[in-house]
Amino acid sequence: MIKIGLLGCGNVGHIIARHAEGFRISAVFDMIPDRAQELAAISHATPYSDFDEFLRADVDLIVEAASVAAVWLYGEAILRAGKDLVVLSGGALADDEFKSRLVETARAAGRKIRVPSGAVTGLDNLKIGQISPLGTLLLRTTKSPGSLGLQPTERMEIFKGAASDCIKQYPKNINVAVALGLAAGKEADVELWVDPDVERNIHEIFAEGEFGDIYIRVRNVPSPENLSTSYMAALSILTLLKNLDNPLVVGT
């Protein structure tokens, strides 16, 4: 059975612990020791508050469920320690220099970096853009104003441009766009809207190329324990982990 380490013991970490199947959580790390202790008790894992000790734990891969900053701070060290890395905070890879360095570190160490589909679907088919380049790749995200600290009375667009520019203004709202770009081999354009009439985050994906065109619309249910986290994003990690050992691979 695959043994994993959890980097980050917040809401997503708890969802993974409650639904662990086909893998075992052996080690957990958090900058706040009490959070690591709490999740360790639930998952029967060893808690760590010292990152270097966490790296020496007997695990096959480490799942980042913390933040973009955590990927920047710990990602390379994890790979150099001989662990595969699952990155939930894909926005960290919007920095091309860091992404290249992380990939080269993984290649040199013979390890893998895995990015789950997160809060959207369709990443598998968008990979055709790596073979037949896409002419259009657009992500239109609509959120409730309160989630961004705004109070408009009607639907309004607050950003339009490239994903690499969006992350400078809205760093917590770019993980999906970066994942799309990584899959398709093309930076996504982003439209970010707020609408006082919506209760769920809505992601609309528009892609067009020689193959034809794609339109995908996802309305995400938030995690019950943390309304700022997509439940689907947490489930996508569980799906990835459950199928790591499966000899039958579905999708590209």
Give the integer Cα–Cα distance in Å for 16 and 235: 8
DSSP alpha helix (H) spans, 62-162: 68-80, 96-109, 123-126
CATH code matching the domain that covers 2-115+233-242, chosen among 3.40.50.720, 3.20.20.70, 1.10.8.60, 3.90.1150.10 = 3.40.50.720
User: Which of these, 99, 84, 54, lies nearest to 241 by C-alpha position?
Assistant: 84
* CA 205/CA 121 separation, integer angstroms: 9
Position 151: which residue type?
Q
Say whether pLDDT at 215 is over 80.
yes
- Catalytic option among 14, 19, 44, 203: 203
CATH annotation of 123-220: 3.30.360.10
Residues of the chain with CATH 3.40.50.720: 2-115+233-242
- Evaluate if residue 207 carries a pLDDT over 80: yes
The verdict on whether residue 162 carries a ligand-binding annotation is no
Mean pLDDT for all residues in the chain? 93
Given a contact cutoff of 8 angstroms between Cβ atoms, the answer to whether 36 and 7 are in contact is no
Name which residue leads in pLDDT, 86 or 1. Answer: 86
**Catalytic (active site) residue 203:** yes
Give the whole-angstrom CA distance, residue 3 versus residue 84: 11
How would residue 182 be classed by pLDDT, with cut points 50, 70 and 90?
Answer: very high
pLDDT for position 237: 92
The pLDDT, as a whole number, for residue 228 is 67
| Own/partner pairs, 20-24, CB within 8 angstroms, 24+ separation | 20/238, 20/241, 21/238, 21/242, 22/241, 22/242, 22/243, 22/244, 22/245, 23/241, 23/242, 23/244
**Region(s) of the chain under CATH 3.30.360.10:** 123-220
Quote the pLDDT of residue 115.
95
Residue 175 labeled ligand binder: yes
The CA–CA distances, whole Å, from 140 to 89, 92, 98, 202, 216 equal 19, 20, 26, 8, 10
